A and B are shown apart, each in its own frame.
Chain A
Amino acid sequence: MSELIIKNGYVFDPVQGIKGDKKDICIKDGKIVDKVGSSAKVIDAKDKTVMAGAVEIHAHVAGPKVNLGRIYRPEDKLFSCTPTKGMERMGGGASIPTTFKTGYEYAKMGFAVAMEAAMPPLFSRHVHEEIRDTPIIDEGAFPVFGNNWFVLEYLKNQEIENTAAYCAWLLKVTKGYAIKVVNPGGTEAWGWGLNCLTVNDPVPYFDITPAEIVKGLIEANEYLGLPHSMHIHPNNLGNPGCYETTLDTMKIAQGIKPKNKFGREQVLHLTHTQFHSYGGTNWGDFESKAKEITDFVNKNKNITIDTGNVTLDETTTMTADGPFEHHLTGLNHLKWANCDVELETAAGVVPYIYSPSISVCAIQWAIGLEIALMMKDPMRCYITTDHPNAGPFTRYPRVYKWLMSEKARKAQIDSFKHKDKVLSQTVIGTLDREISLYELAQMTRAGPAKSLGLAAMCGGLKPGMDADVAIYNINPDKPVANPDDIEKAFSRCAAFIKSGVQVVSNGEIVNNGNKRTLWVNVKAKENPQVMRDINEKFVKYYSMTQANYEALGHHFVPNPYAIEVDATN
């Protein structure tokens, strides 16, 4: 394969502690190498910033609820579709982009990897079809476990080994990446129209609490030694006062040590933290508890988080927290889609407009930024929008602008209709921190890669790692004249190399790449009991045969990349 050399750029690589030095990056056969020959193709990165490809730790980009969102929102595509252009296929969707657009937009922003945040196992074939049709970026998907009947029954009996065996089997059969938990117990309760709003509310019939589910799945995750930790969307999302449930959830992780061979140091990843950091008792006295949440995470180093920043756009919410979506449609009366999935989970979809003239939305915007600015360790706090829930991922550069420029934040605050309320209900007005380029690299590359257990492979520019390199039109040596330049620079990279092949040049797609599907292949101890239980549930309760559930042929995952885990002890 060809050799490339990126010359003269200012490199930001937290993996090697490079903080803006002018350094050449050498690429050969899809990997970063120490040096290349004189015939290597030169990409000049003079006056530009060079980072590893970014790593998206949580977005809803592939699968049944994403597609239900596309199907039911033709207006999301009105007047905003992009035509076929050379090798770039046509695209559309402002908040829920089509799969081609998803791959291209991430690549144009210099993203190398994206994790689909929630895969309902029964629909794994659908998730993988969409992943396959998303060009360029490597992807993985997290199957959901927190409302799964097998998990509820095993954990009720405190059978960690059986839980672990089931998790290993499900990851294999769905080619999944990690143990994802959404509204533990509450989404099974939603099968009857009910919910679990605290960690101690028992699940109807199964009679287990969310706390027990969370604890059990953390233990199963460490038992197996998976690359990523249990990844959780806690109960009570989005309600005033929910921060207490979030603290209760995180407390479960206290004292548990990570066990794995991937350099992962956390046992719990708290996702879209903004939605879980609310105080107050109603929408009138609604306030930020970002300080309480970040104080806890700052002290408890076995936790990583991602932000879930609100971008102040019209967008579409979609989550496996089915009851939350029903609650949301009750508030805004916009069209509500829902799908309960037998034995496993549910999903809901509702459009939402984060209007800057509504005080609650403005406070939500502030909370997301407060979290990023008050987290002390950028290696444990990652920037997301829970795409598309708090905003489309195409707005990441705007979020970077707000984090890197106090001036930009102040301008936004000044423009709010209810500026005074935003300042009184949050501490955003007191925060003058500006995230640096190095910290940005930690929060968007090295940090998420490490949390995912992929630190050896991506998120950095150390020789031996994958050659995913993004070059941005931002000169660290020149002070930023206009904060909008930050947004512009990160929206369209000057060049992006994925697995050693240049795929983006001057913001345009020049190659469709050869994306991989990352999944975790666990070699686990034989467990005839669990196999019998699986067999029985397929015969009696599923609407599909076990053989057809397990069928995930090559045409679904044409370029798999398995992360091997040996859990046989």
Chain B
Amino acid sequence: METVTITMKNAPALYLEADTISPDAFAGKSATQIAELPVFEGNSPSTLGKYFEISGSAGATAADTKIVVRGDVKKVKYIGFKMTAGEVVIEGSTDQYVGAWMKGGKLTAKGDVGAFAATAMKGGELIIEGNAGNYLGAAYRGDWRGMSGGKILVKGNAGSDIGMYMLGGEIVVNGNTDVHVMTHAEGGKTIIKGNAASKIGGQMVEGTIFVFGSIDVMMPGFKPDGEVELEVDGTKAKFARFIGDMGERHKKKKGIIVYGNLYKKI
């Protein structure tokens, strides 16, 4: 694997839209060519090289390319946008749309990330060592096809609206989440190891949520359905099981109605 290191040298006055910071955009290019990749500060077009020091060179393909992002990128959006393979490591915190629409590869953010990370994710792995903003792994506005594959791990806390319209894949939050988890979901799995707030699994058709900590207020649409012993992400425990959202439509598979499942650790 070839590594390209980009280091912020010239902070933008406004915010930088750098959707070209991805293994797919870098693949097959030299440092000089990478420096020419387009970026935008508002409506003002520029190049990556005007803001970043670029060293190293990319692999022949995305899969062979690793990108390390250094310096203060708190005002940089779209890192890892639409990536399909390869690796990206952000050595600090960054802004919105990290790994948005990603299909593969591995993206690690060593700090916090802003809103809309992993929008409509289809595959790959996203690791956030700090906190995630709102709309993690959610669908784009209006689209009923949200995250459908891949794995997200947030070591800190996450914001609101995670996994909205989720269809598949997995989100794990080691810390707490804000309101609205897997709203409208039709598949997929979310594990919250800290506390969830409320509005968990609202309008859920199918899918699974595990909450290890507290839930402030349960959705009335989740009906108690006994207790069960499970091993979840390495933890063996007893969970109270709820099925729902009973206010929502549900499909039949092999003659049996399939509900969404909410497990709360006892």
Q: Are B141 and A334 in contact (CB under 8 A)?
A: no
**B249 in contact (CB, < 8 A):** yes
Q: Are A75 and B249 in contact (CB under 8 A)?
A: no
Q: Are B144 and A74 in contact (CB under 8 A)?
A: no
Chain B residues near A (Cβ < 8 Å): 140-144, 249
Complex Cα distance, B203 from A335, in Å, reads 14
| Closest beta carbon of chain B to A454's beta carbon, Å | 38
Q: Which residues of B are found within 8 Å of A74, using beta-carbon distances?
A: 140-142
Most buried by A among B140, B141, B142, B249: B142
Q: Which residues of B are found within 8 Å of A334, using beta-carbon distances?
A: 144
Q: Which residues of A are found within 8 Å of B144, using beta-carbon distances?
A: 334-335
Q: Are A73 and B142 in contact (CB under 8 A)?
A: yes
* Interchain residue pairs A-B with the least CB separation, the first 5: A75-B143, A74-B142, A75-B142, A74-B141, A73-B142
| Closest beta carbon of chain A to B195's beta carbon, Å | 32
| Closest beta carbon of chain B to A316's beta carbon, Å | 11
**A283 in contact (CB, < 8 A):** no
**A331 in contact (CB, < 8 A):** no
Complex Cα distance, B141 from A334, in Å, reads 14
- A-B contact list, 12 entries, CB within 8 Å: A72-B142, A73-B142, A74-B141, A75-B140, A75-B142, A75-B143, A76-B142, A78-B140, A78-B143, A334-B144, A335-B142, A335-B144
Closest to B143 in A: A75
Q: Which residues of A are found within 8 Å of B142, using beta-carbon distances?
A: 72-76, 335
- As a 0/1 sequence over residues 330 to 348 of chain A, the CB contacts with chain B under 8 angstroms (1 = contact) are 0001110000000000000
Closest to A334 in B: B144
Closest to B205 in A: A333
| Closest beta carbon of chain B to A76's beta carbon, Å | 8
Q: Which residues of A are found within 8 Å of B141, using beta-carbon distances?
A: 74-75
Which secondary structure dominates where chain A touches chain B? loop
Complex Cα distance, B261 from A123, in Å, reads 46
Complex Cα distance, B178 from A205, in Å, reads 52
Complex Cα distance, B35 from A79, in Å, reads 24
Q: Are B249 and A333 in contact (CB under 8 A)?
A: yes
- As a 0/1 sequence over residues 70 to 93 of chain A, the CB contacts with chain B under 8 angstroms (1 = contact) are 001111101000000000000000
| Closest beta carbon of chain A to B120's beta carbon, Å | 9
Complex Cα distance, B249 from A265, in Å, reads 51
- Other 14 A-B pairs with CB < 8 A, given A74-B142, A75-B141: A72-B142, A73-B142, A74-B140, A74-B141, A75-B140, A75-B142, A75-B143, A76-B142, A78-B140, A78-B143, A333-B249, A334-B144, A335-B142, A335-B144
Complex Cα distance, B197 from A219, in Å, reads 65
Complex Cα distance, B140 from A76, in Å, reads 11
Which parts of A306-334 form the interface with B (CB within 8 Å)? 333-334
| Closest beta carbon of chain B to A92's beta carbon, Å | 13
Q: Which residues of A are found within 8 Å of B140, using beta-carbon distances?
A: 74-75, 78
Closest to B141 in A: A74
| Closest beta carbon of chain B to A95's beta carbon, Å | 13
| Closest beta carbon of chain A to B96's beta carbon, Å | 16
Closest to A333 in B: B249
Q: Which residues of A are found within 8 Å of B143, using beta-carbon distances?
A: 75, 78
| Closest beta carbon of chain A to B144's beta carbon, Å | 7
Complex Cα distance, B142 from A335, in Å, reads 9
| Closest beta carbon of chain A to B74's beta carbon, Å | 26
| Closest beta carbon of chain B to A314's beta carbon, Å | 10
Q: Which residues of B are found within 8 Å of A75, using beta-carbon distances?
A: 140-143
Complex Cα distance, B140 from A72, in Å, reads 12
Closest to B101 in A: A79
Complex Cα distance, B260 from A354, in Å, reads 28
Complex Cα distance, B189 from A121, in Å, reads 49
Complex Cα distance, B144 from A75, in Å, reads 9
Closest to A79 in B: B101
Which parts of A235-252 form the interface with B (CB within 8 Å)? none
Closest to B251 in A: A333
Complex Cα distance, B141 from A72, in Å, reads 9
- As a 0/1 sequence over residues 373 to 408 of chain A, the CB contacts with chain B under 8 angstroms (1 = contact) are 000000000000000000000000000000000000
| Closest beta carbon of chain B to A352's beta carbon, Å | 13
| Closest beta carbon of chain B to A98's beta carbon, Å | 16
Closest to A330 in B: B249
Complex Cα distance, B144 from A76, in Å, reads 12
| Closest beta carbon of chain B to A551's beta carbon, Å | 34
Complex Cα distance, B140 from A78, in Å, reads 9
Complex Cα distance, B142 from A479, in Å, reads 46
Q: Which residues of B are found within 8 Å of A78, using beta-carbon distances?
A: 140, 143
| Closest beta carbon of chain A to B38's beta carbon, Å | 13
Q: Which residues of B are found within 8 Å of A335, using beta-carbon distances?
A: 142, 144
| Closest beta carbon of chain B to A70's beta carbon, Å | 11
- As a 0/1 sequence over residues 52 to 80 of chain A, the CB contacts with chain B under 8 angstroms (1 = contact) are 00000000000000000000111110100
Complex Cα distance, B99 from A465, in Å, reads 57
Complex Cα distance, B114 from A478, in Å, reads 58
Q: Which residues of B are found within 8 Å of A76, using beta-carbon distances?
A: 142
Complex Cα distance, B140 from A75, in Å, reads 7
| Closest beta carbon of chain A to B252's beta carbon, Å | 14
| Closest beta carbon of chain A to B206's beta carbon, Å | 12
Complex Cα distance, B144 from A334, in Å, reads 8
Which parts of A73-120 form the interface with B (CB within 8 Å)? 73-76, 78
| Closest beta carbon of chain A to B80's beta carbon, Å | 16
Most buried by B among A73, A78, A334: A78
Q: Which residues of B are found within 8 Å of A72, using beta-carbon distances?
A: 142
- As a 0/1 sequence over residues 148 to 160 of chain A, the CB contacts with chain B under 8 angstroms (1 = contact) are 0000000000000
Q: Which residues of B are found within 8 Å of A73, using beta-carbon distances?
A: 142
Closest to A72 in B: B142
Complex Cα distance, B144 from A333, in Å, reads 10
Closest to B144 in A: A334
Closest to A73 in B: B142
Complex Cα distance, B144 from A74, in Å, reads 11
Closest to B145 in A: A75
Complex Cα distance, B184 from A333, in Å, reads 12
Complex Cα distance, B142 from A76, in Å, reads 9
| Closest beta carbon of chain B to A62's beta carbon, Å | 22
Q: Which residues of B are found within 8 Å of A333, using beta-carbon distances?
A: 249
